[in-house]
């Protein structure tokens, strides 16, 4: 009995050992397979991480390039703007200066033109007065000549001479003065 128990025990032990060995072998294979999967996953992750790092570096480098380019363009545009603003300010200053000069010249021109107009009006009035004087002198001379002729005729003729010497037409001739 003891022998039988021992045999059963040994047989159970052997059976258990075989089962245990089989399970252990199966578990070891599972472990190896999991380790292999883990290594493969780690390699994929490392490759993905490396690719992502490269992409990140490429994007950061590209971004820095774009930022540098943008900064340079903005600096250039600012310089252009400053030049244009300086030119505009100078031209505006010159325009204001020219407008002030023009205003002074316009005032002088208006003053000169007003003086010329006044002088022309004065000369026109003097000319008109001179014309009237010449006409008046002509009328006076004609009147005087007519008077002398009538007086001469009167000395040789009758008593109605006094009225004939001062004719109404002659007196009317002086009404324009």
Instruction: Give the other-Cβ count within 10 Å of 136's Cβ.
Output: 14
- % pLDDT > 90, the chain: 67
**What pLDDT does 38 receive?**
95
Q: How far apart are the first and last CA of the chain?
A: 186
pLDDT over 60 at 168, yes or no: no
pLDDT over 50 at 59, yes or no: yes
What average pLDDT is seen over the chain? 88
Could you read off the pLDDT of 69-128 as tens digits, one per residue?
999 999 999 999 999 999 999 999 999 999 999 999 999 999 999 999 999 999 999 999
29-52 burial, b at 16+ Cβ within 10 Å, e below that, comes to: eeeeeeeeeeeeeeeeeeeeeeee
Residue 166 near residue 132, CB atoms below 8 Å: no
Local structure of residue 27 (DSSP, 8 states): H
Q: What's the number of CA atoms in the CB half-sphere (13 Å) around residue 103?
A: 6
């Amino acid at each position: 009995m003891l022998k039988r128990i021992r045999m059963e025990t040994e047989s159970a032990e052997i059976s258990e050992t075989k089962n245990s060995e089989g399970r252990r072998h199966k578990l070891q294979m599972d472990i190896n397979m999991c380790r292999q999967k883990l290594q493969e996953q780690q390699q994929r992750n490392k490759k993905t991480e490396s690719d992502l790092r490269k992409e990140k570096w490429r994007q950061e480098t590209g971004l820095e390039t774009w930022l540098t380019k943008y900064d340079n363009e903005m600096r250039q545009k600012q310089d252009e703007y400053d030049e244009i603003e300086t030119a505009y300010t100078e031209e505006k200053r010159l325009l204001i200066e020219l407008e002030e000069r023009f205003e002074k010249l316009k005032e002088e021109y208006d003053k000169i033109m007003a003086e010329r107009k006044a002088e022309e009006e004065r000369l026109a009035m003097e000319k008109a007065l001179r014309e009237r004087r010449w006409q008046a002198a002509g009328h006076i001379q004609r009147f005087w000549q007519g008077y002398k002729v009538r007086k001469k005729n009167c000395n040789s003729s009758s008593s109605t001479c006094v009225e004939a010497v001062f004719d109404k037409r002659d007196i009317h001739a002086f009404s324009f003065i």
